[in-house]
Amino acid sequence: MPDLTALAHPIGDALVSSQGYDVEMIRRDFPILGTRVHARSGKPGKPLVYLDNAASAQKPRAVIEAMSRCLEQEYANVHRGVHYLSQRTTDAYERVRDKIAGLLNAGSREEIVITRGGTESINLVAATWGRKFLGPGDEIIVSVMEHHANIVPWQLLQSERGIGIKVVPCDERGVLDLDAYRGLFGSRTKLVAITHGSNVLGTVTPAKEIAAIAHHHGVPVLFDGSQAVVHGPVDVQEIDADFYALTGHKLYGPTAIGALYGKRGLLEAMPPYQGGGDMIAEVSFAGTTFREPPYRFEAGTPPIVEGIGLAAAIDYVRAVGLDAIAVHEHALLERATAGLNRIEGVRIVGTAPGKAGIISFVMDGVHPHDVGTLVDQAGVAIRVGRHCAEPLIERFGVGATARASFGLYNTLDEADALVEAVAGVKEFFA
């Protein structure tokens, strides 16, 4: 367990203090957490217990104010403008590249491509690196735990190019089968594209080992880090990732913003993703030349305000401390897991050691949508369904699950509120 006192760094009201993780101070930075839901005439409603963070996290005041300040005081289009507002906004927007590079410990800011989310980051690799280097009979390796965003782009390429897709299984706990993974490599294996953190099971995959095995075969690795980067520190140099995709809205930032880390040599070998302004060096009707990475992959007006918001979100989580967040969320996970396990008929799907703060579960005789609807009446917001991971849901033999996912602002009382609400569902159907 890290020394929380070494992580003290205030931002707004957020603070990891000398007494430890002060979640109540952190909560004051998130205006929406004061919401009461299902208010009715004469009744104030229930306090919001927001446990849908794996779908999208709430935003701290620092993010809201950074975006508002840009729109109110500094907004202009970025790059090439010589006037004051454009230069101010360009400087603020370009800082997001530095913030992402620092968050991931990338070797340089030029290894960070700003995208419109983790999905676009993966599609970028499939559409550029994939189309250039993959041909009929070549194979890629994914896992059964993938989000659809790391399945469908490769299936599109499969239809177009005739590539093969091999799938790494997981065991009943949701642990990736590394022995099976090793056995999938062959002479035509060209890429591994695998999650670093399951959005359904909470499983954190052994990224460094995954990369080492792939590199032994001369194969690059793309990690979908949209869930992993939220729950603890990620060092792309330490795990030796070749590509790393993330999305901003799960990281307490705005929607429509994300990033792709790519080793410089790989990015330099990739053709442009889209054509348009800002990604070109020179254009004529005789032909066009393109800028060096990362800019050749960033056609058109970028998500300016969203980028500024993401920079503020990264500052926020790093100020609180990703190690401290991980410790706090683990305590929430243990509390909720113990409570749900005491409810007869509730089964948790995904029990891998060292998992992140995500709990998917099913209840005997009760559809997950009914679970979600009833716990919502108690003020507890969870997600229900297949979570954009249908092959994984099918692997566990369930039609859907209810999913509670924790964030840096959730409390032990809220973990208890989840358990109490689920117990209430059990009583409702008794």
> How far is residue 257's CA from residue 305's CA, in Å, rounded to a whole number?
10
> How far is residue 428's CA from residue 430's CA, in Å, rounded to a whole number?
6
158-170: per-residue pLDDT in tens?
A: 999 999 999 999 9
> How far is residue 306's CA from residue 312's CA, in Å, rounded to a whole number?
10
For 159-256, strand residue ranges (E) read: 164-168, 189-195, 221-224, 243-247
Q: Mean pLDDT throughout 186-215?
A: 98
Q: Which helix or strand (DSSP H or E) is residue 226 part of?
A: none
CA dihedral 92, 118, 12, 78 (to 10 degrees): 10
pLDDT band at 9 (very low <50, low <70, confident <90, very high): very low
Query: How many other C-beta atoms are found inside a 10 Å radius of the C-beta of residue 12?
Result: 17
Q: How many residues does the chain have?
A: 430
Name, in order, each residue with C-beta under 8 angstroms of 119's C-beta and a sequence gap of 6 or more: 149, 247, 258
Q: Mean pLDDT throughout 261-276?
A: 97
Percentage of residues in the chain having pLDDT higher than 90? 94
pLDDT, residue 120, reads 98
CB 244 within 8 A of CB 234: yes
Q: Mean pLDDT throughout 83-97?
A: 96
Q: Mean pLDDT, the chain, as a whole number?
A: 95
pLDDT band at 103 (very low <50, low <70, confident <90, very high): very high
> How far is residue 308's CA from residue 89's CA, in Å, rounded to a whole number?
9
Strand partners, 56: none
Query: How many other C-beta atoms are found inside a 10 Å radius of the C-beta of residue 426?
Result: 18
pLDDT at 379 over 60: yes
pLDDT, residue 20, reads 79
> How far is residue 302's CA from residue 180's CA, in Å, rounded to a whole number?
41
More confident residue, 375 or 17: 375
pLDDT at 12 over 80: no
Q: Mean pLDDT throughout 420-429?
A: 97
> How far is residue 182's CA from residue 210's CA, in Å, rounded to a whole number?
9
pLDDT, residue 116, reads 97
Angle, CA of 383, 385 and 388, to the nearest 5°: 95
44 — phi, psi (to 5°)?
-75, -10
pLDDT at 14 over 80: no
Name, in order, each residue with C-beta under 8 angstroms of 70's C-beta and a sequence gap of 6 or more: 89, 92, 304, 305, 308
pLDDT band at 88 (very low <50, low <70, confident <90, very high): very high
Q: Which domains does the chain have, with CATH numbers?
A: 4-51+321-428 (3.90.1150.10), 64-318 (3.40.640.10)
> How far is residue 331's CA from residue 327's CA, in Å, rounded to a whole number?
6
pLDDT, residue 6, reads 30
Which residues are part of the catalytic machinery?
388
Q: Mean pLDDT throughout 168-197?
A: 98
Cis preceding linkage at 294, omega within 30: yes
Q: Which tokens hold the place of 21?
A: 């993780």
Name, in order, each residue with C-beta under 8 angstroms of 43's C-beta and a sequence gap of 6 or more: none
pLDDT, residue 19, reads 52
CA distances from 185 to 164, 192, 243 (A): 12, 10, 19
DSSP track, 73-126: II----SS--SHHHHHHHHHHHHHHHHHHHHHT-S-GGGEEEESSHHHHHHHHI
Q: Which tokens hold the place of 166?
A: 């091999």
Percentage of residues in the chain having pLDDT higher than 70? 96
Whole-structure pTM value: 0.95
CA distances from 43 to 40, 66, 420 (A): 5, 35, 21
pLDDT at 347 over 70: yes
DSSP track, 318-343: HHH-HHHHHHHHHHHHHHHHHHHHTS
25-62: per-residue pLDDT in tens?
A: 999 999 999 999 999 888 899 999 999 999 999 999 99
